[in-house]
Amino acid sequence: MSRLRKSKIYEMQSLLPGLPLQFNVPWKSVTTLGIGAKIPVLAEPEDDIQLCELLKYCDQNSIPIFVLGDGSNMVGTDKTMPGIVIRLGKNDFKRIKISHIHVTVGAGVSLYNLFNTCAEAGLGGASPLAGIPGSVGGSLKMNAGARGICMGDIVEDLCGFDFKGNHWKASGKEIKWDYHQTSIPDDVIILAAICRLEKTQCSVEKEKIRNEIQWRRESYPPGRSAGCVFRNPVPDLSAGRLIDIAGGKNLSSGDAVVSDKHANFLINRGAATEKDFLDLMMKVKKNVLSSTGIYLSSEVSFANPDGEKLISIEPAGIALLKGGTSSEREVSLKSGSFVAEALRNGGYHVTEIDIRKPEILPEMKKADIVFPILHGGFGENGEIQKVLEDAGISHVGCDSIACHTSIDKILSKKLMVKENIPTADFAILTRKNRKLPSNFKVPLVVKPPTEGSTVGITIVFEESELDKAIDTAFKYSDDEILVEQYVKGAEVTVGIVGEQVLPLVEIRYPGKTYDYDAKYTHQQGDTLYFCPPDSVPADVQKKAQDIALRLFKALGGRDLMRIDMIVREKDNSLFVLEANNLPGFTESSLLPKAAKTAGISFVELCASLAQMALARKKQ
Which residues form the catalytic set?
Answer: 328, 453, 520, 562, 564, 578, 580, 584
Asked whether 300 and 234 are in contact (CB, 8 A), the reply is no
What's the CA angle centered on 494, arms 490 and 500, to 5 degrees?
Answer: 155
Distance CA 267, CA 277 (A): 9
267 backbone dihedrals φ, ψ, rounded to 5°:
-100, 135
Distance CA 294, CA 342 (A): 10
Distance CA 425, CA 232 (A): 50
Distance CA 321, CA 327 (A): 16
For 518, other C-beta atoms within 10 Å of its C-beta total 21
Asked whether 567 and 545 are in contact (CB, 8 A), the reply is no
According to DSSP H, which parts of 142-250 are helical? 202-219, 239-245
Cβ neighbors of 573 (< 8 A, separation 6 or more) are 422, 567
Distance CA 367, CA 351 (A): 8
Element housing 298 (H / E): none
Q: How far is CA 533 from the centre of its chain?
A: 27
Question: What length does the chain have?
Answer: 619
Say if residue 202 is exposed, middle or buried (CB neighbours under 10 Å; 0-12, 13-18, 19+).
middle
Does a cis peptide bond (omega within 30 degrees of 0) precede residue 532? yes
Distance CA 510, CA 522 (A): 9
Handedness of CA 449, 450, 454, 456 (dihedral sign): negative
Distance CA 411, CA 533 (A): 29
> Which has the closest alpha carbon to 609: 497, 503, 502?
497
Q: How far is CA 87 from the centre of its chain?
A: 34
Element housing 116 (H / E): helix 111-120
Asked whether 149 and 115 are in contact (CB, 8 A), the reply is no
Distance CA 280, CA 266 (A): 8
Element housing 186 (H / E): none
- Report helix, strand or coil for 317: strand
